[in-house]
Amino acid sequence: MNSPPAPSPAATASAAGPAARSAIHGTDTLVPSLDGDYQRGVSALWRVLRMALRYRVRFPAAVLAVIAAGVFQLLIPRFLGQAIDQAAGLLSGAQAAGGTAVAAAQAALVTSALLVLGIAVMRGLFTLAHNYLAESIGQSFGYELRLAFFEKLQRLSFSYHDRIHSGDLITRGMLDIEGVRRFIETGIMRLFQLAVLVGLGAWLYMGQDPVLGLLCLSFVPFAVWRGTVFRLRVRALWREFQERMSVLTRIMEENLAGIRVVRAFSAQQHELDKFDEWQRRTLEPAVESVRVRYLNTSMMTCAYFVAMALVLWYGGLRVIHGDITVGELTQFLVFMTVLQMPVRQVGLVINGFARASVSGARMFEILDIEPAIRDRPGAASLAIGNAELTFDNVSFSYAGFPGERAVEGISFTVRAGQTLGIVGPPGSGKSTIAHLIPRFYDVTGGRVAIDGQDIRDVTLDSLRAQVGVVQQDTFLFKTEVRENVAYGDPTAEDDRVVDAADTAQLHDYVAGLPEGYDTLVGERGVSLSGGQRQRLSIARSVLLTPRIVVFDDSTAAIDAGTELRIRDALKELNRTRATIIISHRLSSLMHADEILFLEAGRIVERGSHAALLAQGGRYRRLFDLQMGAARENALA
């Protein structure tokens, strides 16, 4: 079984540069390899835009609605000005002309009023349409991204999740999807709105009176410039603030979670000093960004009013000299009020673009990863017979630690009805072996086979259906006990759940809970002790009846008596399946058919319990150490 180690491909690869290495190690790699944030941001933006264009009806409809709303918006000053002229112009002429002219003037006023009302209603309706459409596209967009992100995360292999902080993924899933989603509304649509109002407005009003039109728009370049500068500055401050805030958050969180340490060392003052220091530091960028922001808005408002004063002055002169009417002057002044809001939002548009490019890049970074562990094209289902698991000269290194072999030259066979025990100091590679069996990681040398089929040649689903790993740390989902036990098979009937819990010696405890199997566990519910969690984890695997089961130090927190009862209950099941027990406690695995003693990733001793004892090596020493207590007992 112990063949001499073949020249492993990983050994040659480690010299061949990072690209080759990651290809061989099968780590999850990024498909696009662009240089620089900027380029990535731009390409992300294009991709978001292309995705938006896929909404073939809603997207063009939204754009049309924006344009229509802008046009109606621009018509309002027109008709208001016209109405003023009707009232003012007729003031001098109508009285002289007598009754019919007054009646005609009144009729004209009513017409203007109805037109203004109609235009206002239309503007409202089109605004509603474009806001609604933009939001609905954004939401569809968010929905799709969210699903794609979720699905991708579920498929990414352990080696990826080892490297990335879960908090980072959660942030991406919450904030970055939001950033991309809002781009349609705050980025694209507002840009169109701005373009229509300024562009069409300039054309309309400058055509009428170039100088006045120019004066009306004179504050726009200033506002755009300030808006841009301001965004850049505030973004930098914001990032600074976020960074400091996250330190402060961490300080508070650690203080509260570690309050016993704080109290035990009477370190309250020390902690308050730290807190004050970082509170002060968060205040700096916060106050600074307040200053920058409001200096900016005040300047923009100021520029706007200065432009208006100039329009009033120059327009007044033109009226005095009889070049234009009062109504026309009014028209220009009202036009300015139309421009005020959208121009102020230039910063928002820029922000929308910036945020979408950053968030988009971060999203796509995840979405574009190809999971390292996936079905080979045309992979068949695992054909299970005797459940014979073979490790054939297996070696493995974790991504990021290419030089360090987590395990090396591991060979063994275990089949249905047999038990293999694995023991060794922390970090000797025991859990690594457990993780290679369901292909949580792919071996970097040698092969793992079940009933003669290399596990890389069969589908993941069929493999994992036959392999159960009971971990030391049990993750509890925030739901009822029942669902937690039946996690692997949500359709399991109640009696199967109860049976599984019973086998794992958990039933009595659960039955004693106020709501039995309906009791909530996790954050808001009952908290389980370490031993109870481990028993729950065992129950989970019992329910699934895999043909190969690995107990990865999964009874460490369970007392010896209970463990014995669990082992008895499992006896029947174990006849039809291969069992691997990893444990520090020798009493858990001394009945195994073969025991491997691992050290630094290699098998240093192997054999049955009796043989290993007779050998008088490391196993023997460990046994003596652990049995010391028991012997003393016997003497007493």
Partner 1 sequence: MPDSAAPSGPAPAPSGAQRRRSPLGHSGEEIFGAVVDPRVLRRFVAFLAPYRWIIVASVVAVLAFTLTQIAVPLIIRYVIDTALPAGAAAGSREAERLLGFAVGGFFAVVAVNFISNYCQQVWVATTAERVLLDLRRAMYSHLQRVSLSFMDRTQVGQLMSRLQGDVGSLQEFLESSIFAVGDLVLLAGIIVVLLALDLELGLLTLSVVPILVLVRAIWLPAAKRAFIRARETSSIVNSALAENINGVRTVQEMTREDFNFAAFREKAAENYRAHVKATRLAQVMVPTVDTLTGAAMAIVIVVGGNRVLDGSIAIGIVVAFLFYVQRFFDPIRSLTMQYSVMQQAMASGQRIFEVLDVPVDVRDKPGAPDLARLAPAIDSTVEFRNVTFGYVPGLPILKNVSFRVDPGETVALVGPTGSGKTSTMALLHRFYDVWEGQVLIGGVDVRDVTQDSLGRRIAMVLQEPFLFTGSVYENIRYCAQGAGREQVERAARAVGAHDFIARLPRGYDTVLGQRGVNLSIGQRQLLSFARAIVADAGILVLDEATASVDSFTERAIQSALEKTLAGRTGLIIAHRLATVRNADRIIVLQDGRIVEQGTHEALLARGGLYHRLHAMNVASFDDVPAEVSAVAADQRT
Q: Measured between alpha carbons, how far is residue 185 from residues 166, 343, 349, 353 in Å?
A: 29, 16, 9, 11
* 11/299 with CB nearer partner 1: 299
Whole-angstrom Cα distance, residue 179 to residue 198? 26
φ/ψ (deg, to 5) at 117? -60, -45
Are 205 and 76 in contact by the 8 Å Cβ rule? The answer is no
Half-sphere exposure of 99 (CA within 13 A, CB side): 0
* 213/315 with CB nearer partner 1: 315
The single residue listed with the structure tokens 């020249």 is 7
* 419/534 with CB nearer partner 1: 534
Largest CA distance in the chain: 131
Binders of partner 1 in range 59-118 (CB under 8 A): 76, 80, 83-84, 86-88, 90-91, 94-95, 102, 105-106, 109-110, 112-114, 116-118
User: What is the bridge-based pairing of β-strands 407-414 and 548-552?
Assistant: unpaired
- From the centroid of its chain, how far is CA 348? 24
- From the centroid of its chain, how far is CA 498? 36
Binders of partner 1 in range 542-581 (CB under 8 A): 544, 556-562
Whole-angstrom Cα distance, residue 249 to residue 290? 21
Q: Which of 21, 47, 161, 235 binds partner 1 (CB under 8 A)?
A: 161
x/- string (CB under 8 A) for partner 1, residues 17-56? Answer: ----------------------------------------
Give the number of other Cβ atoms within 10 Å of residue 272's Cβ. Answer: 11
618 lies in the site for partner 1, by CB under 8 A: no
* 45/363 with CB nearer partner 1: 363
139 lies in the site for partner 1, by CB under 8 A: yes
* 127/393 with CB nearer partner 1: 127
Binders of partner 1 in range 417-436 (CB under 8 A): 425-427
Cross-strand bridge partners of residue 526:
521
Closest distance of CB 610 from partner 1, Å: 20
142 lies in the site for partner 1, by CB under 8 A: yes
215 lies in the site for partner 1, by CB under 8 A: no
254 lies in the site for partner 1, by CB under 8 A: yes
Closest distance of CB 231 from partner 1, Å: 17
Closest distance of CB 198 from partner 1, Å: 19
299 lies in the site for partner 1, by CB under 8 A: yes
The type of residue at 336 is M
Binders of partner 1 in range 317-336 (CB under 8 A): 317, 319-321, 326, 329-330, 333-334
Total binding residues toward partner 1, as defined by CB under 8 A: 159
The single residue listed with the structure tokens 């002790």 is 529
125 lies in the site for partner 1, by CB under 8 A: yes
User: What is the bridge-based pairing of β-strands 407-414 and 389-396?
Assistant: antiparallel
| DSSP codes joined into one string, 431-467 | HHHHHHTTTSS--SEEEEEETTEEGGGB-HHHHHHHE
Cα four-point dihedral sign 395, 398, 400, 405? negative
Closest CA to 79 of 309, 335, 307: 335
Q: Which of 66, 119, 443, 492 binds partner 1 (CB under 8 A)?
A: 119
264 lies in the site for partner 1, by CB under 8 A: yes
Interacting span for partner 1 (CB under 8 A) from 46-54, 204-212, 521-529, 568-576: 521-529
The type of residue at 345 is Q
Are 163 and 29 in contact by the 8 Å Cβ rule? The answer is no
* 53/306 with CB nearer partner 1: 306
Binders of partner 1 in range 447-466 (CB under 8 A): 460-461, 464-465
Closest distance of CB 528 from partner 1, Å: 8
Q: Which of 127, 186, 351, 505 binds partner 1 (CB under 8 A)?
A: 127
Q: Which of 16, 30, 232, 309 binds partner 1 (CB under 8 A)?
A: 309
Q: Which of 523, 572, 610, 616 binds partner 1 (CB under 8 A)?
A: 523
* 418/505 with CB nearer partner 1: 505
Q: Which of 267, 367, 569, 600 binds partner 1 (CB under 8 A)?
A: 267
376 lies in the site for partner 1, by CB under 8 A: no
Whole-angstrom Cα distance, residue 588 to residue 591? 8
- From the centroid of its chain, how far is CA 289? 28
Are 112 and 78 in contact by the 8 Å Cβ rule? The answer is no
Closest distance of CB 417 from partner 1, Å: 23
- Strand, helix or coil for residue 314: helix
* 147/383 with CB nearer partner 1: 147
Q: Which of 13, 236, 286, 613 binds partner 1 (CB under 8 A)?
A: 286
